[in-house]
Amino acid sequence: MISIQNIQKKYGGVVVLDIEELVIKRGEIIGLVGNNGAGKTTLLRLILDLIKADRGVIRSGIFNVAEDDSWKGYTLSFLDENFLLDFLTPEEFFSFVGNVYGFTKREIDAELSRYSLFLSNEVLGKKKLIREYSTGNRQKIGIVSTLICQPEVIILDEPFNGLDPTSQIVLKEILKNYQHSAGATIIVSSHDLTHITDLSSRIVLIEKGKIIRDLSNNTDTLAQLTEYFAKPIRDIAK
C-alpha cells in the first residue's frame, strides 16, 4: 500500500531522516515509536507530501505522493491542531471535510453517530467554535474528522495525547474495529508503548532518523520495546 525507498530528509545540512526501505501493506496497523527528535513526525509529513524529501520516493498504491495527488482521495490524517479550522463549530468542520470528499450531510451525520461514545456528548450540539473546546475535545474532533469519510489510509500523530483514560481505550477499539471492517491501512505514532502495542499489528522503532527495529507485534513486543528504551537509564546507573 505504501512504499518508501531511499528517503532522506535534511534540515540545515543535518540528516534527520534516512530510511532505505519501508513497505506498509494494505490493512496493517503500523505503530511508530521513538524518542523525541527520532524522525517520526518527519516521516509522516513526508508520506503526506507536506514536506519534500531531499532524495528518494514514497508511493501510496501506484502513486508517487510527490508527483500525483490521486492518493489524497483515499487518505485522511490528523497530525496536530493546525489541521483544524478552529473558527468553525465541530458540525461545520465535519461538514466541510465531508463535502471535500463528496459526502452529504446525511451521510456525515450517520457516520458521526458511530463515534458518539468517543465524543461523549461533549462536542456536538454545543454551539461552540472549535477553539473554545478543551485540548482533549479538539483532539477528538481531529481524530473523528479522519474517520467519517471512510478513508483507505489513516495517519495519526500522537492521537492519545490529551485524551482521558476512557477515551484512550475507546479510541483503540475504534481504530481496530475500523481496520477490521474497512480493511484500512492505519499509521499511528505514539510515545505510549502500551497503547501502541495494544493497537498495532506491527511496530517500527525509529531513532536518529533510522529504522532500528521492525517488529511483528506479539506477546513479547512490549517487553522488547521497554528493554530498548530503558537501557540508557540502566547504563547511567551502572
pTM of the model: 0.93
Nearest Cα neighbor of 163 from 122, 202, 204, 214 is: 122
Instruction: Determine how many CB atoms are found less than 10 A away from the CB of residue 208.
Output: 14
Domains observed in the chain: 2-237 (3.40.50.300)
CB-CB neighbours of 5 under 10 Å = 14
Does 235 score more than 70 pLDDT?
A: no
Greater confidence (237 vs 130) lies with 130
pLDDT of 194 over the 60 cut: yes
> For 119-125, what is the mean pLDDT?
88
CA-wise closest residue to 6 among 187, 162, 210, 181:
210
Question: 90-104, 128-142, 186-200, 221-235: which has the minimum mean pLDDT?
Answer: 221-235
Joined grid coordinates for residue 173: 477499539
User: DSSP string covering 127-151, please?
Assistant: ---GGGS-HHHHHHHHHHHHHTT--
Q: Mean pLDDT score of the chain, rounded to an integer? A: 93
When pLDDT is cut at 50, 70 and 90, the band that residue 231 belongs to is confident
| pLDDT value, residue 232 | 66
